[in-house]
Structure 1
């Protein structure tokens, strides 16, 4: 017989705490008020002079965005989970509220960040939180890039030519234009074609936290992003990268600037690597592999796929994803590696 109780909700919450709600670890260690303040400064809340329903507090929306990225949820799925899931309601602060942000509210909030050019704001604010906890960048940095696929576009030959010129066919209807991603580009990797964007990151060797990132179209070469993601705040001057970043002139400039460059060597046509170079590559690979853990975690969180169209929105989503990864990593560092509770 099923036992009923007037205090069922409180009993479930107590059991949730006993099992270990990882979201409460975030609650304990992260100042979401500070994150919300950074958002409001960069993208002020809309004026209510014209009336209408007031927007949800920014802190609630920031918490919801973090959940959305941790669990790789669409706006529609996020709305459903907030209506259905106890741990989400409690974390966001809507446990006893009859109002829940809907899918349109999430879209509008993210558009507010895009239009205010505040796409990197949350990521930067999260990294300031990491510094407060003493997790500053240490032991050098590892730079790498990964392709982020976008939904493939089906265009006619004439349309492709126009898109390459950053234009749109005149016969496209407004609804059709909204569904066409004219920013994403094609590239090849290991003989396979990909359509989308490229995410370049710099992660510190000690904590495997993302310190800098750069988002571009997929066709841009990895080496073009090295300076953009170079973290000058790291306490160590060691720089690790794979063969894609080989550039003799740049390496000379980096060494003159005081960097200790550890970039794997690439064999040329008819010029195989020497045994010494192979040993050096293997030695670098042991350190460089740590950044692969970062990209694998991003993929687990849905970071290798986009639910948006256009470069500006891709920059926002990938900055949000990197911020959520760093918060997840903070929990792991605080709890000695317990992150399994983030699984959906």
Structure 2
């Protein structure tokens, strides 16, 4: 039997305009392959039994988890948002504020369930497989880059210590404390296909093998990935090495090397868009949790959204690799 439309529902539908949050959630409703992702989580989610408290619907809990990551809510803030914000509550699948809404402990337990089974990384892999099946991520090249995400450096806490999994590093004569986010991005679509989180003092090039796909034929990177050993190894594997050449005071770059760098940077620079989305649109400039695993799980979810949005049409123009690049 069809449920009767309430006055609150009619009032919500007839609003004069939609907010930016509502427009974003409407986009997520269409671009995220929800059924595919839920099938990945379902084997690990508690089943309803005859006795005891019945689990919350999986679809609602997963949508709440996504909302928490997208809007950078804590567990308590997420619970409050379900009561306060109509668009958030409706996106999670609850029609009215009088429905049985999950509390902060339920939200926390679901997040821990995903982290325990490393499901955010599997969800990112499923989204990329979904895009590949639709012929979106069809290029055989990757752009790689890394960026520092700050962590609290204060020791004014119960343990009187910093996070042991974070570390300090110097960049441009300035010290930073936190973790380093490494990404591998598809050249054609701009979708992220690989994510690695390390301490901030780990070098970029150490993580390069983890950021490439077996089908890649070309790799773009900045001078942080410059290495003659890796260059020779890549060419031995038939991989085009399009990493920026690095000069020095005693050995400055030649005119041909500078020209090659400019040509390659026109493609490589597109990887910076990933960090702009993560740090500006999702405001992920400082880690939320202690430990690399929990923060890596959050980043994987954010990158999953970026991959889906990139494939939805914002980057419809295909990038053709110039024939002169890497020659």
TM-score (ref. length: structure 2): 0.84
In the alignment, structure 1 residue 59 sits paired with structure 2 residue 59: yes
> Which of 265, 274, 286 lines up with 2:254 in the alignment?
274
Structure 1, unpaired ranges of 5+: 1-5, 156-174, 337-344
Residue 296 of structure 1: CA displacement?
A: 0.6
Measured at CA, do residues 36 and 335 of structure 1 come closer, stay the same or move farther in structure 2, by a change above 3 Å? same
Matching residue within 263, 284, 294 for 2:243: 263
Answering whether residue 148 of structure 2 is matched by residue 147 of structure 1, we say: yes
Taking the aligned partners of 1:178 and 1:50, their CA distance within structure 2 comes to: 46
1:35 aligned partner: 37
Deviating more after overlay: 322-331 vs 145-154: 322-331
Q: Which moved more, 1:249-258 or 1:327-336?
A: 327-336
Aligned partner of 1:241 in structure 2 is: 221
Q: Which residue of 195, 200, 212 corresponds with 1:230?
A: 212
Distance 1:250 1:107 in 2: 42
- The answer to whether the 8 Å contact 1:137/1:211 transfers is no
Count of residues in correspondence between the two structures: 309
Question: What's the counterpart of residue 205 of structure 1?
Answer: 187
Relative distance call for 1:93 and 1:208 in structure 2 (3 A) is: same
Cα RMSD of the aligned pairs, angstroms, is 2.9
Report the Cα distance in structure 1 between the residues aligned to 2:14 and 2:239, rounded to whole angstroms. Answer: 52
Q: Work out which of the residue numbers 265, 269, 294 in structure 2 matches 1:313.
A: 294
Tell me which residue corresponds to 1:169.
none
Match of 1:254 in 2: 234
Preserved contact between residue 31 and residue 309 of structure 2 (Cα < 8 Å): no
* Other structure's SS at 1:145 match: strand
- 1:99-138 equivalences under 5 Å are 99-138=100-139
Q: Which residue number corresponds to residue 159 of structure 1?
A: none
Which stretch has the larger CA shift, 280-289 or 66-75?
66-75
Tell me what 2:26 maps to.
24
Deviation of the 1:17 alpha carbon = 8.7
Residue in 1 aligned with 2:308?
A: 327
Distance 1:187 1:334 in 2: 34
Measured after TM superposition, the shift of residue 100 of structure 1 is: 1.9
Match of 2:45 in 1: 45
Q: Could you tell me how far apart the structure 1 residues matched to 2:186 and 2:279 are?
A: 19
Q: 1:321 to 1:187 in 2, by over 3 A?
A: same
More RCO (CA 8 Å, sep 6+): 1
Look up the SS of the partner of 1:21 in the other structure. Answer: helix
Q: Does 1:221 align with 2:180?
A: no
Q: 1:80 to 1:178 in 2, by over 3 A?
A: farther
Residues 147 and 196 in structure 1, CA contact (< 8 A), matched pair in contact too: yes
Per the normalisation by structure 1, the TM-score is: 0.80
Residue 48 to residue 179, structure 1, CA distance change in 2 (3 Å): farther
Q: Tell me the distance in 2 between the aligned counterparts of 1:210 and 1:317.
A: 14
Cα distance in 2 between the residues matched to 1:17 and 1:327 = 25
1:10-32 C-alpha deviation (Å, 9 max, x unpaired): 24225489888342333234331
Q: 1:243 to 1:335 in 2, by over 3 A?
A: closer
Label 1:335 to 1:225 Cα distance change in 2 as closer, same or farther (>3 A): closer
